[in-house]
């Protein structure tokens, strides 16, 4: 059953701690993306990757980091430098940049 | 950078009413256009897309959208909504050339009252 898996669905962390969100896809897609969704803000692009071992900053990359060591995996680390990390995070993938994106179920991160 | 505008963030209407959601974008070149829908508790999924050809595109669940290049618009329509259409709808645009980054609008929260 092909798709995108994000884990966990809910995540709680204390302020000042780094946290890594998982995103795995078995669609054999080259491109992967991380978005942040806030109420009334739509989806804002954090980082994206066209291909393995390559990634680019999106519109709101500050305080976040990513890696793309494997085609199927694109983990996002929310660092302590991110000023407002509590949000809903969505991972997506597409065959290549510009093609239809498929989304995961999302991870809701709450920092207390 | 391209931007995408969606107006009337909250829309409330009764079943059988017609729905139209506006989407305007700022990018002047060739673009690919999408509407995504997020039903309560579910992941974001594609409703319809326009890459080229007939500017009137039909998607799932009776939705359609019309691309009007001169107005930089890609409005979504459904003639008669159902309660199950309650969801958040997002317009997205990606330039054919350039940075190939998908830009989303802020979304329309649609509530259909039975």
Residues of chain A found within 8 Å of residue B104, distances taken between Cβ atoms = 35, 42-44
Mean pLDDT of successive 10-residue segments in chain B (114 residues)?
84 97 90 94 92 94 95 96 96 80 91 95
pLDDT of residue A20: 96
Asked if A89 is an interface residue toward chain B (Cβ–Cβ < 8 A), one would say no
Enter the DSSP assignment of A109. Answer: E
| Window 51-110 of B, Cβ < 8 Å to A | 90, 92, 94, 96, 100-107
Kindly report whether the peptide bond that precedes residue A8 is cis, defined as omega within 30 degrees of 0.
Answer: yes
From A110's Cα to the closest Cα of chain B, the distance in A is 17
d(CA B59, CA B65): 8
pLDDT of residue B96: 75
pLDDT of residue B28: 78
CB atoms inside a 10 Å sphere around CB A37: 20
Residues of chain A found within 8 Å of residue B9, distances taken between Cβ atoms = 40
Q: Token pair for residue B36? A: 């995504």
User: Could you tell me which chain A residue has the CA closest to the CA of B30?
Assistant: A98
User: Could you tell me which chain B residue has the CA closest to the CA of A5?
Assistant: B43
CB atoms inside a 10 Å sphere around CB B58: 10
Instruction: For residue A99, name the pLDDT band (cuts at 50, 70, 90).
Output: confident
The single residue listed with the structure tokens 């649609």 is B110
Residues of chain B found within 8 Å of residue A100, distances taken between Cβ atoms = 34, 46, 49
For the segment A25-44, the average pLDDT, to the nearest whole number, is 92
Using the predicted structure, report yes or no on whether residue A91 has a pLDDT greater than 80. Answer: yes
Question: Residue A11: how many CA atoms within 13 Å on its side-chain side?
Answer: 23
Residues B63, B75: contact at Cβ < 8 Å? no
Q: What is the number of residues in chain A? A: 112
Record: contact A103-B32, CB cut-off 8 A = no
């Amino acid at each position: 059953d092909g798709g995108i898996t994000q884990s966990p669905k809910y995540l709680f962390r204390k302020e000042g701690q780094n946290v890594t969100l998982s995103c795995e896809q078995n669609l054999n897609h080259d491109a992967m993306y991380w978005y942040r969704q806030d109420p009334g803000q739509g989806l804002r692009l954090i980082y994206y990757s066209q291909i393995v071992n390559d990634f680019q900053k999106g519109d709101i990359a500050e305080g976040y980091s990513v890696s793309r060591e494997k085609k199927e995996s694109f983990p996002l680390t929310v660092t302590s430098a991110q000023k407002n990390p509590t949000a809903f995070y969505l991972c997506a993938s597409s065959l290549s940049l510009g093609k239809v994106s498929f989304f995961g179920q999302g991870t809701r991160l709450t920092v207390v | 950078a391209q931007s995408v505008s969606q107006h009337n963030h909250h829309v409330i209407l009764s079943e059988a009413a017609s729905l139209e959601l506006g989407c305007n974008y700022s990018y002047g070149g060739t673009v690919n256009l999408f509407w995504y829908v997020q039903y309560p508790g579910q992941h974001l999924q594609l409703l319809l897309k326009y890459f080229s050809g007939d500017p009137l595109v039909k998607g799932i669940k009776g939705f359609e959208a019309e691309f009007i290049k001169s107005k930089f618009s890609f409005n979504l329509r459904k003639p008669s909504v159902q309660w199950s259409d309650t969801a958040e709808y997002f317009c997205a645009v990606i330039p054919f050339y350039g940075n190939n980054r998908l830009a989303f609008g802020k979304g329309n929260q649609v509530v259909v009252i039975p």
